Amino acid sequence: MFYRNLRRGHVAGIPVVLVINKEQAALEKKIQHDRDRNAFGDAVMQTFYHIFGRSGVGGVVDGQRVIVEAARECWVRGHPLLSEIANHGRGCHWPAQMTCEVFGDGYYARSNPRNPAEELQLRQVERHWQQAGRIELPQYFEHFGVINARQHVQDQHKKALAEAKDRQSRQPTAAEVRAIELLAKVTAWLAPEMKAAMGCGKTSYCVAETETILGELKKGRAYRSYEVFLAADVFDSDFAQALGIFLHEHAHVFGYDGSRGFSDALTDLIVAAVRYRQQMDQYDARWEQVRGQVAAERRSDAATNEVGKLLGHKSEMELRQILTQVPKPILLQILGQFDKD
C-alpha cells in the first residue's frame, strides 16, 4: 500500500497494490504528529481504506471486481477494505452477470433482522440455503449483488403479488360495463369538466376480485393516470355507495389521496351530488336494474364454471356417454354452433 510515493503498509490477505498519490487531508491529520514514521497503524489504515473505497473504486465496478476476486480468501471472515468498497459503491450496482461470474450460486449475504418476526423468516431462508451448501458471507456482500434473505423474501412477495394480480384482476364483464356506463353518465352530468379531464374516452377500467389486490393495483397507478380500479363488490352495492366510490376513484385524475387537487375535485363532486339529489332517484332505479343484471350474469358464470369443472374430470369415454343422453335437437344445435366458430 503506497501513499504519496511511499510504502506505508501491507493489505493483509489481499494480493493487491493500492496507491494514493494525492495528498488527503484526513490522512495528513492522522499522521501530522508522526511524520517520521512511514508505517501506518490500524486506525490510519482504516482511513486509507475509506478514502480508496470512496474515491478510488467507488463508482468503478470493474475495479471493485479486481479487488473482490483477489480477496477470495477473506470473503467469509470479511475485510475492512471490502466493507469500505461495498459501503461507498451502493449507488453503483454490479450487473447480475458479473456477480454470477465472481460468486456463482454458492454464497449468500447475511441479513440482520429488524424485529423478532422478521428474524424467524430470514433465518428460515438462510437455513435452507445452508442445507443446500451455500456459504454465509458478511452482510455488505449484498452490495456486490450476492443474494440475501431479505431481498429474496421481498422478491418472492412481489412475484406472488404479480401472479395474484394476473389471476384476480380483469376487464369488466358485459353487465359490469353497463353499470360503469351508468355511473359515468351520472359523473359527467354532475361535473362536465370531469369528462374532459378523464381524457375524452381514454379512461380504462379494471376490476379486482379482492380488496388486497385492489390496494396493490392502486399503488402501481401512475400520477394523473386514466386507469380506474374498482372492487368487484362495488357492483353489489346500492346506488349511493357505488356512486360515491366511483366519484372518489375518478377524482384521482387530479392527484393522490390528500393532495389539494384531489380534495378540491372530490369536494366539487359532493357539492354537485347534494345540489341535484332530487334528480338522483331516476338513476337509483336504473342502477337497481343493472345491478340485477350483474348478479344474474355472475350466477350464470358460476354455473358454467361448475359444469366446466365437472366435465374436466371426465374421461373421453364418459364424455361420449354423456353426449348420448343429450336430446338430438339440442345436440344438433350445439354442433351447429361449433361449425359456425
CA angle centred on 283, ends 278 and 286, rounded to 5°: 145
Rounded CA-CA distance 316/183 in Å is: 47
C-alpha cell at 133: 451448501
Rounded CA-CA distance 59/56 in Å is: 8
Centroid of chain to Cα 65 = 29
Residue 91: per-residue pLDDT: 61
SS3 208: strand
Q: Which domains does the chain have, with CATH numbers?
A: 1-92 (no CATH), 93-155 (no CATH), 170-286 (3.30.2010)
Rounded CA-CA distance 182/282 in Å is: 11
**Dihedrals phi, psi of 276, to nearest 5 degrees:** -105, 30
Residue 321: per-residue pLDDT: 76
Rounded CA-CA distance 124/78 in Å is: 23
For residue 201, give the DSSP letter.
Answer: S
What pTM did the predictor assign? 0.53
Calculate the alpha carbon distances from 104 to 15, 58, 97, 100, 154 in Å: 22, 23, 10, 4, 21
Q: What phi-psi label fits residue 110: left (phi over 0), alpha (psi between -120 and 50 degrees) or beta?
A: beta
Alpha helices in 142-259 (DSSP H): 149-168, 174-190, 192-197, 211-219, 239-250
**Among 307, 337, 302, which Cα is nearest to 322's?**
307
Cell 454465509, residue located: 136
**Among 242, 323, 250, 239, which Cα is nearest to 282's?**
239
Residue 177: per-residue pLDDT: 93
Contact call for residues 207 and 169 (beta carbons, < 8 A): yes
Give the type of residue at 16.
V
Rounded CA-CA distance 190/57 in Å is: 61
C-alpha cell at 317: 369415454
Tens of pLDDT along the chain (341 residues) come to 788 877 888 888 888 888 888 888 888 887 776 555 566 878 888 888 888 888 888 778 988 999 999 999 999 999 999 999 988 866 678 999 999 999 999 999 999 888 887 888 899 999 999 999 999 999 999 999 999 999 998 888 777 666 666 666 788 999 999 999 999 888 888 877 766 666 555 678 888 877 766 666 666 555 556 778 888 889 999 998 998 888 888 777 777 777 787 788 888 888 888 887 788 888 999 999 999 999 999 888 777 666 566 666 667 777 777 777 777 777 677 677 666 55
Rounded CA-CA distance 75/153 in Å is: 24
Q: Angle 61-70/80-88 helices, nearest 10 degrees?
A: 160
Calculate the alpha carbon distances from 227 to 16, 66, 185, 202, 252 in Å: 56, 48, 17, 9, 10
Contact call for residues 228 and 249 (beta carbons, < 8 A): yes
Contact call for residues 265 and 281 (beta carbons, < 8 A): no
